[in-house]
Amino acid sequence: MKPALIESGMMKLRMNRFGIPWRVGHLHPSNLRSLGHSAILPALVMMLAITSLAGTIVDRIVTSVNGHVILQSDWEQEVSFEAFSQGRDPDSFTATERHAALDRLIDQELLREQLRPSQPAPAEQISSRVAEFRKLYPTGNTDQGWHATLEHYGLTQSEIEKRLGDEIQIMKLAEDRLRPSIQIDQRAVEAYYHDKLLPELRQAGGYATPLSEVFGQIKRLLAEKKMNELLTGWLANLRSASHIPTPESGAGDRNP
């Protein structure tokens, strides 16, 4: 069996997480996709004039999370960031994908509320993540090309650094809270190997690598899967205990 088969499974699980590499946010740059459950959220009445990627638009409150407002401009920036991380045009996002991005924005805010006052993410970690993103784009080889790429997506260096710093902090929060409860025993690994992996390999005509050679990879894969389940449950509990206004019909359309 090729180890890449298991690694691809781990990537799919990470793509179901943040945002921030999990469902809430997305992103290790190697996981150039973002998933999440879709949501339709309200447009409230406040209107403000701001300048954005598309020029001067009318900003508005899209929703709020326990009193913390999420503006249309926040939503557009989230879509731009996800498009940037996937190498896509923001305008290519469907309505469903846009609502999924907003849903992830809400999840991020719910988790951010759980953060205790702490030091910001280490600057070296943020710099390392930025460097990984720069490697994804040929234009990232030079500062001029990199900033031109960011400008294309309506993003700035400081916005990227803040977003990645937030992700690092929220990831640590989730890891510290959930990871200690995850225990994957030998029986679970063996069951996955015999019941799922081997049948898939036979179907694909692949070579069945001995369990001993893939044991660690399978264990990590199962741990990631459990992490997803725990995170989903935690977010569901946070949502049920939070005040998030019911959407109005037509909320979420892009401003012209």
Task: Average the pLDDT over 196-207 and give the result.
Answer: 88
Residue 64: beta bridge partners? 69
Q: CB neighbours of 249 closer than 8 A, spacing ≥ 6? A: none
Residue range 6-23, pLDDT digits in tens = 655 555 554 444 443 343
Q: 209 or 149: whose pLDDT is higher? A: 149
Instruction: Return the beta strands (E) in the chain as ranges.
Output: 47-52, 55-65, 68-71
Is the pTM higher than 0.75? no
Residue range 211-239, pLDDT digits in tens = 999 999 999 999 999 999 999 999 999 99
| Confidence label for 41 from pLDDT (cuts 50, 70 and 90) | very low
DSSP, residue by residue, 157-177: HHHHHHHHHHHHHHHHHHHHH
